[in-house]
Each structure stands twice: as C-alpha cells, then as structure tokens.
Amino acid sequence: MAAFDPPAPPSPLPVMDALALTVGELRLVVGSDSRALALKRILMAGPLGALPSKVAGVSESVLAPLRPSLALPRVRVTSTRCADDGATKWAMEFGDGQRSETVLIPSRTRATVCVSSQSGCTRACAFCATATIGFRRNLSAGEIVHQYLVARAAAQRAGLEATNVVFMGMGEPLDNIDAVLRAVRSLTDVFPGLSPRRVTVSTSGVVPPLQRFLKESRASLALSLNATTDEVRTRIMPHNKTWPLGSIMKVLREATAERPRRFFVEYVQLPGVNDTSEDAGRIADLLRGLDCHVNVIPHNPFPGSRFRAPDRDETLRFHRQIQESGLTGIIRWPRGRDVAGACGQLALRTA
C-alpha cells in the first residue's frame, strides 16, 4: 500500500489584541454574531487579567482553541491618588515595566476618562511635564482601552457613568495613530458603546496622520494650539518647525470642505507669552471659517517649569477677549492639580 503523510496540524492563530477587537472582527474568529457579542461583552466588563474559565454564550469547544490567541494586556496599578476635587489619577505599569497615567474626572452627572496613548511622549512642549521624562514607547490599543476600563469601574462605584474619553494624557496620540484608531473603534463599538462625539483625540498637529484621522474616524478632534504665531509656537512647541500653523489649518479646512465638523481648540495660557489681546484676535483669524470651540486652559505648574500659572483675573480677561473676537468656548479650570493630575502635569510623580 502507498504510504500517506499524516495531515499537517492546523496553523496556530495569530495573537490578537483582544480589547481592540470589534464585534465584527470577533465574528470572524468565533463564527457567529451571538458568540461575538457575548465575548465582546465579557471583554468590556473588565478590567480582566485573563479570560474567565467560562463565557456565557460561547462554548468551550469554540473558545478553547482561541484562548492562546486572545491576548489581554498585562497591567498593574502601581498608585492611586485622589484629589480634593474628586479627580483620581492612576499610575499603571505594563508587562515590560513601562508606565503611564490615567485620570478620572467626575462631574455632577457623569465622568470623563483621560487616557494616555504613549509611555512618555515624542514631543518636547515646554509647558508640559510629560516632556521631562522623554519617550518610552507607544501603547497598544488594548493597553489604552484597559485604562478606560479601570477608570470606568471606579466611576461606577461612585454611581457615575464614564461617558466621555479624552486622549489627552501622556503622549502625542497621532504619533501612535494605528493603535489610537483601533482603540477608538473598540470604545465606540456595541460594548462599551460610547458615542464617537464623546471620544476626543487631542493632537499638537502632526499633519500626515492628522489627515488620516480625519478621513477614518468619527471621533472628535482637539487641536492643541497654544500660540498664534509660528515664532512663539516653535519656541514652546518645537515640532512646529516641521508642521507650522498654516499647514495644520489647511488640513482642518480641507476636512471641513469634505464634510461639516466641529473642532475643539485647546489653548494653554502662559502669562506674558501667548495671552495678549493681539493673541485673542489672531486666534479668531486663524480659525476663521471653521466651526471651533476654544478651551482656555490656565497653565498648570510643575517642578522645573519656567512658566507661572495665570491668576484667575488674567484667565477671565483673556477668555473675555477671545469671546469678544467672535469665538465660543469655555475656561477649563484645573482638576486634580493637587495630585499632579491636571493638564500638562502627568510625569509619573507619586508625591
């Protein structure tokens, strides 16, 4: 008789970032809508260290071959600090020892989660404490989503729903565009079901991935503007030499021409540097023709910062001048400043 070679064993499935998978992607690996929904629900019920031994709605005969391929991030909360105003900041350490920080900002009826997209940051903005620790690495989509799950659990214990996510923690999100887009898709999927307009990605203005983000994502965009001339912006945000104001505004206008959309504009107020009445007028000139909401953010000091925090009257005056120029927006007063959890203060300090 002729000898036959035994059948080759099935090829192992590639490792998948489980928290980044949408229901549609899970359907391809579990074979049905109902099983995909059940598995996504369990994944988003976390934070999980591992898949549970049983998943209701998914038989073990289906799940067992998948278990080695569904990778959950290895994350350990190394510190939790609660601010007097109710904000909470967590430092999280990942499996390779790198760390980032996450902040929960409660309001009367809901909560906002501020997530990091990198450990450290690729930018060197002079007003931001994260720049002092340099860049460690990009975070995976699952590591980003895990941050939301940790903060959401804390919000639910306080009787609040974490309905908003802002990518305004450590890092420049658009320098990690693939993982950020995947995290946004996961967060706005059936579970946890966040509205895309309640997920906001902030950028200092990195033009090529900015164009991609505006084409591929329905999430909100926040531009960290912080100056009204290229000379000043380059001084406080050195990457402006590569992507000056004109190139960024061109991208926003092109995106608006394709479909109407509103942008958030973040403006860190540095007294005597970027907050003159002339600056207020130039902000209006830069944003003319765009639907923008301008957030004035008083600078939050940190050890070694060469800038001071504006006093309340200075911030009220500058905000009034911006409104008088025809723009709408608010003052984003500091939250979590006493635990170094406010905008621009994240630098892995625990005391």
C-alpha–C-alpha distance, residues 57 and 329, integer Å: 47
DSSP secondary structure of 25-77: HHHHHHSSHHHHHHHHHHHHT---SS--S-BTTB-HHHHGGGGGGEEPP-EEE
Locate tokens 């008088």: which residue? Answer: 324
Rounded to 5°, the CA angle 207-92-134 comes to 45
Residue 179 in contact with residue 137, Cβ under 8 Å? no
Phi-psi region of 290 (alpha: psi -120 to 50; beta: other; left: phi over 0): beta
92 with 75: CB under 8 angstroms?
Answer: yes
- Quick check: 26 and 191 in contact, CB under 8 A? no
Identified catalytic residue from 114, 121, 292, 343:
343
Q: Alpha-carbon distance 280 to 266, whole Å?
A: 13
Question: Which residue has tokens 């800038």?
Answer: 307
Catalytic residue list contains 101: yes
Give the pair of three-digit tokens for residue 124.
Answer: 């060197």
Taking the alpha carbons at both ends of the chain, their separation in whole angstroms is 78
Q: Give the phi and the psi of residue 51 in degrees, each rounded to 5.
A: -65, 140
Closest CA to 311 of 257, 271, 341: 271
Alpha-carbon distance 316 to 271, whole Å? Answer: 12
121 among known catalytic residues: no
DSSP state at residue 319: H
Q: For the chain, how big is the Rg over CA atoms in Å?
A: 22
Q: Name the DSSP class of 64.
A: G
Query: From the candidates 60, 82, 101, 128, which is the catalytic residue?
Result: 101
**Positions marked catalytic:** 101, 343
